[in-house]
Structure 1
């Protein structure tokens, strides 16, 4: 594989590693928000913002951690035949399915960018009582999908190299 692809894979892996590990901390923030929600409801002073903030944090946790999950190979894989195949056959199949994933994530990124630009242009707010601006969470969502797309491309290059009998990292 060309040197530029090797550098690309190394850089994307490092970025998703740091973003993924930092994103893990959002879980504790979400727990804090939900704990506050429970306490405020118990005191009969429920906060109207807690459920929606918890949902936003969960979306950020899920999407920003997506690239790290792909990188760690922690996603779900149905293994009927896969474990019986040679490493080279697995790499060929992974490269093919990687193309499908790249297409899917590309379409998701396109929709995310469109939705984010709409939210920014029209100051879109949620339909809840609290009515927060949607642009910040949509930016985070689009960033998360973008990182997954970059990671999927890095994995595609890694699988392509493995199918050729090479090793990138």
Structure 2
């Protein structure tokens, strides 16, 4: 189990590193968009290459950050029912989703996309738009992104198993998210502090 937990921590570090720097791809796309707009306005010139490189950077940013998003539990989740189940049921649902949904989808995408990416790299396929870019760099984002997502899914599965065996923290709680007990204690502490901060009522005057 310790070896698996070490693997899980390594995957977490990898996706954390990539996720924190993926924001710079969004920044790059924003800068290129602004420069393209200025050049088009001032010099009445534009190129499909400017538009496509924005698309490339945006595709890379959200695909390679998918694993980091899963690590931080920021994907959209419908927990209306799940949050009311016992912890063992929540854990079982989490593991079922990782094994029977996330893993097969990632493997299927990799199975179909990887040969296409290699084919585009070997053929050097270009965009059909005038002044467009070569295609394989944006296609490469698919196998890279889904590989990172698949690895993070396995990391989360390892953490679920470790928690079930009593060898790790609860992976179903979002990082930095307080448990119900901690939230209640914090609310009571704030309420007590608010009451203490209120000025004392003036003493009643004798009639």
- Residue by residue over 1:31-77, the C-alpha shift from the partner in whole angstroms, topping out at 9 and shown as x without a partner, is 10110121122121123311111111110011011010000000000
Q: What CA distance in whole angstroms lies between the structure 2 residues aligned with 1:12 and 1:66?
A: 13
- Residue by residue over 1:94-148, the C-alpha shift from the partner in whole angstroms, topping out at 9 and shown as x without a partner, is 0001111111011111122111111112112222212321122222321111111
Classify the secondary structure of the residue corresponding to 1:144. Answer: helix
Unaligned runs of 5+ in 1: none
Runs ≥4 residues deviating over 3 A: 163-166
Tell me the C-alpha RMSD between the 2 structures: 1.5
- 1:165 Cα deviation (Å)? 4.0
Q: Which residue of 2 aligns with 1:86?
A: 86
Task: Tell me whether 1:134 sits opposite 2:142 in the alignment.
Answer: no
Classify the secondary structure of the residue corresponding to 2:10. Answer: helix
Q: What CA distance in whole angstroms lies between the structure 1 residues aligned with 2:47 and 2:123?
A: 27
Q: What CA distance in whole angstroms lies between the structure 1 residues aligned with 2:3 and 2:148?
A: 18
Q: What CA distance in whole angstroms lies between the structure 2 residues aligned with 1:6 and 1:83?
A: 26
- Residue by residue over 1:1-52, the C-alpha shift from the partner in whole angstroms, topping out at 9 and shown as x without a partner, is x122111100000000000001111111111011012112212112331111
Q: Which residue of 2 aligns with 1:28?
A: 27
Q: Which has the larger radius of gyration?
A: 2
Q: When the two structures are superposed, what TM-score results if normalisation uses the length of structure 1?
A: 0.92
Q: What CA distance in whole angstroms lies between the structure 2 residues aligned with 1:126 and 1:159?
A: 44
Alignment coverage as a number of residue pairs: 168
Higher RCO (CA 8 Å, separation ≥ 6 residues): 1
Unaligned runs of 5+ in 2: 172-207
